[in-house]
Amino acid sequence: MRYSFKATPKQRAFIESEAFETLYGGAAGGGKTFVQALDALLYAGRYQGSRQLILRRTFRELERSMVPQTMALFPREFCRYNASRHLWRVGASTIELGYIATEGDVQQYQSAEYDVIRFDEMTHFTESQYRYMMSRVRGVNRFPKRIKCTANPGGVGHAGAKARFIDLGAPMQVHECEGGSRLFIPAKLEDNPFLMQADPDYELRMRNLPEEVYRALREGDWDCYVGQYFTEFRRETHVVQPFALPAHWRRYVALDYGLDMLAAYWIALDEGGRAVVYREVYEPNLIIPEAARRLREADTGEQVTAWFAPRDLFSRRQETGRSVADIFAEEGLYLTQVSNSRVAGWYELKRRLQPVRDEFGGVSPRLTIFDSCVNLIRTLPSVQHDERNPNDVSGEPHELTHAPDALRYFCDGCPLPAEIPRARDYDTVTYEEEIGNVMDF
């Protein structure tokens, strides 16, 4: 039986991709759900006896998108749907529709084997969920093994998807990586002429969205996405190349510590209170004395005004009677406790990220970051609003929170700007002193 369909060039690239992992996405309206369903149908027909799984984060999302899409697309002449099992049969092949709402939901697929797993809206899944399901792509048959993903920027998996596909290299090129090849196919509204012809006012309605939402959904900008907390962050504005810091600038260190991660940042303030984050320590699996020693190794001996740390590091442990701060002090590092006011600290950090006019008439933010602080640059724009408290930063994915938390402790510490040095503080002679020497002579 012949089956005809229309697809855009980008959609065809997705269907024809031979990379182990493929991501098609970016802007809204690119026809992502359609091409995911179409590709599944074509694969099932071509490789009879194959098994596929299409995933959404919740069953409700599945019912609102993939179920009606497959119902409209799959021809009943050779496709049968079992609604109770959420399973399509295409000849001898099967296409299962599933969901993973929680971390524990992956266990329902523990013994499963699939030739292709499809993540519809990959960014709605956590990195751990994605990695676990990758292991379910297996089998002794000779069918091509694939992971096919579609996504818009934003969601709990945004940072993982960005690192996995967008930051990897140029789009529309297959990149060989550990574990298999990857391909990113960017999709924009212009790539879907069918939608633009059917609904020409769609783009006009999108212009009413907030700027960060518009940039994510219309432009497919992966540095700005729906749910992003620090919408003020711009890589081209806040990230700078290292430069020599004046000796009189006041230095601080702010740190977040747990066995899962030690995140510490050296920050210098100029006379106007502008901050520069210039050094980073970001290492997991360090016990308390090792963490303290690692910080001492990173410190170059410059005068640090205060080492800011959160309240929980000062709580004495019942089994030892000592706190993390006590053990740090034994290693020669004396921590200063900050208020750890989450929302107030985040707001102050947002204020520092906003550009303001300086004394020379230029516009620059109150906080910049050396490009050597790679983990802060990676995680700061990736944290999201907490769904239960939009004023707060979400604690998930937890790995993204360590570096921003350390920066928040810096803000909570109310650091003082540098003092303008007096002339006698330099190894030079002032004009008045020189005149005095002449008169004495």
Structure tokens at 103: 């971390």
Each residue's pLDDT expressed in tens, for the chain with a length of 441 residues: 566 677 888 899 999 999 999 999 876 655 889 999 999 999 999 999 999 999 999 999 999 999 999 999 999 998 999 999 999 999 999 999 999 998 899 999 999 999 999 999 999 998 889 999 999 999 999 999 999 999 988 788 888 898 899 888 888 999 999 889 999 998 876 655 544 455 566 555 655 666 666 666 655 677 767 778 998 998 889 999 999 999 999 999 999 999 999 999 999 999 999 999 999 999 999 999 999 999 999 998 899 999 999 999 999 987 778 999 999 999 999 999 998 889 999 999 999 999 888 766 778 899 999 999 999 998 998 898 998 899 999 998 888 999 999 999 999 999 999 998 876 554 444 434 433 433 343
**Confidence (pLDDT) at 222:** 77
Mapped onto helix, strand or coil, the DSSP state of residue 20 is: coil
Name the residue with tokens 């060989």. Answer: 176
Is the distance from CB of 382 to CB of 252 less than 8 angstroms?
no
CB atoms within 10 A of CB 209: 15
Q: Which of 131, 98, 138, 89 is nearest to 116 (CA)?
A: 138
pLDDT for the residue 378? 87
The DSSP line for 20-77 is SEEEEEESTTS-HHHHHHHHHHHHHHHSTT-EEEEEESSHHHHHHTHHHHHHHHS-TT
Specify the pLDDT at position 170. 84
As given in the structure block, the two tokens for residue 279 are: 């050094």
Q: Say how far apart CA 26 and CA 413 lie, in whole Å.
A: 39
Pairwise CA distance, residues 75 & 53, whole Å:
19
Q: Which pLDDT score, from 0 to 100, does residue 14 have?
A: 95
Q: How far apart are CA 280 and CA 263, in angstroms?
A: 7
With contact defined as beta carbons under 8 Å apart, do 24 and 150 qualify? yes
Residue 29 is predicted with a pLDDT of 56
